[in-house]
């Protein structure tokens, strides 16, 4: 990757062979063969290097789906606070590879029953990772004492922040404001904004915008809708605001992004 990437999804990466080195949230992490790891891709991440025999698969799960899964609170909070959770797949990588490829085929089929099955299987996969994560704490995922004291919130605050994230994830296409979000979670708007920024390191406005830009990215790649239609369908009320937000988040215009993605698909 020539520059750090961000998209509002949960990434599941399965390393089949070799190794790959990531920069994630300012931390350099190397993953070896037969490892499965998950992280929130809204945190800036970048592939720095990889071995010549590297072979790996990637599945992205929209944050909306992730938040609707019935996963342990500790696991959800670890992901949302920028941790990378991993699980050893020693002796199981072939089976896991088949699962990833089956998900791809089922989702491309666009048959509702198959999509529901995939959702259930993804939820089960993450639930197993959550269970495994209790026994495996990676050295890179352990923050320093000073950082822990600064960013660690009490349980009730965790729940409030997650409620805010859920509201945004479920309603980002609607007109949203700090006032409406605060009302939805029974918090004063100023308190909700401050609490959210303390937990996620970004403002509510930027968080909502990132959701909308991510939605627009998917539409630009998967549809032929006009740029104006994409803007309106992604929650932006003017084309100029959409273009400004898109360039700020993606480093290019919507039209350039679509052309680049299409050229990559064609080459593949």
Lowest-confidence segment of 23-27, 211-215, 241-245 by average pLDDT: 23-27
pLDDT tens column, 152-180: 444 467 678 778 877 887 888 999 999 99
Judged by DSSP in three states, 10 sits in strand
Using alpha carbons, list the distances in angstroms from residue 135 to 38, 47, 128, 132. 16, 27, 12, 6
- At 24, list the tokens: 């994630």
Query: What pLDDT, on a 0 to 100 scale, did the predictor assign at position 144?
Result: 45
pLDDT tens column, 202-212: 788 988 888 88
Using alpha carbons, list the distances in angstroms from residue 80 to 115, 164, 184, 260, 266. 25, 12, 20, 29, 34
pTM for this prediction:
0.56
pLDDT(148) > 50: no
pLDDT tens column, 19-62: 999 877 667 789 999 999 999 887 767 788 899 999 999 999 98
The set of residues, in sequence order, having a beta carbon less than 8 Å from that of 147 and lying 6+ positions away, is none
> If pLDDT is split at 50, 70 and 90, which confidence band does 134 have?
low
């Amino acid at each position: 990757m020539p520059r750090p990437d961000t998209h509002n999804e949960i990434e599941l990466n399965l390393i089949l062979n070799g190794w790959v080195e990531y920069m994630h949230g300012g931390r350099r992490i190397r993953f070896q063969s037969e490892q499965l790891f998950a992280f929130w891709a809204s945190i800036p991440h970048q592939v720095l290097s990889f071995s010549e025999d590297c072979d790996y698969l990637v599945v992205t799960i929209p944050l909306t789906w992730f938040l609707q899964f019935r996963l342990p609170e500790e696991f959800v909070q670890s992901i949302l606070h920028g941790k990378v959770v991993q699980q050893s797949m020693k002796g199981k990588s072939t089976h896991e590879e088949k699962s990833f490829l089956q998900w791809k085929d089922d989702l491309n089929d666009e048959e509702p029953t198959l999509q529901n099955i995939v959702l259930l299987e993804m939820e089960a996969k993450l639930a197993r990772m959550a269970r495994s994560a209790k026994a495996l704490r990676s050295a890179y995922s352990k923050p320093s004492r000073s950082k822990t004291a600064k960013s660690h919130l009490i349980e009730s605050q965790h729940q409030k922040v997650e409620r805010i994230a859920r509201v945004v994830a479920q309603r980002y296409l609607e007109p949203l404001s700090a006032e409406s979000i605060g009302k939805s979670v029974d918090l004063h708007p100023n308190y909700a904004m401050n609490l959210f920024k303390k937990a996620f390191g970004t403002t509510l406005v930027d968080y909502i915008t990132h959701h909308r830009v991510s939605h627009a990215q998917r539409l630009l790649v998967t549809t032929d809708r006009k740029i104006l239609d994409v803007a309106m369908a992604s929650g932006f009320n003017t084309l100029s605001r959409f273009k400004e937000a898109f360039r700020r988040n993606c480093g290019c215009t919507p039209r350039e992004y679509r052309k680049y993605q299409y050229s990559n698909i064609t080459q593949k």
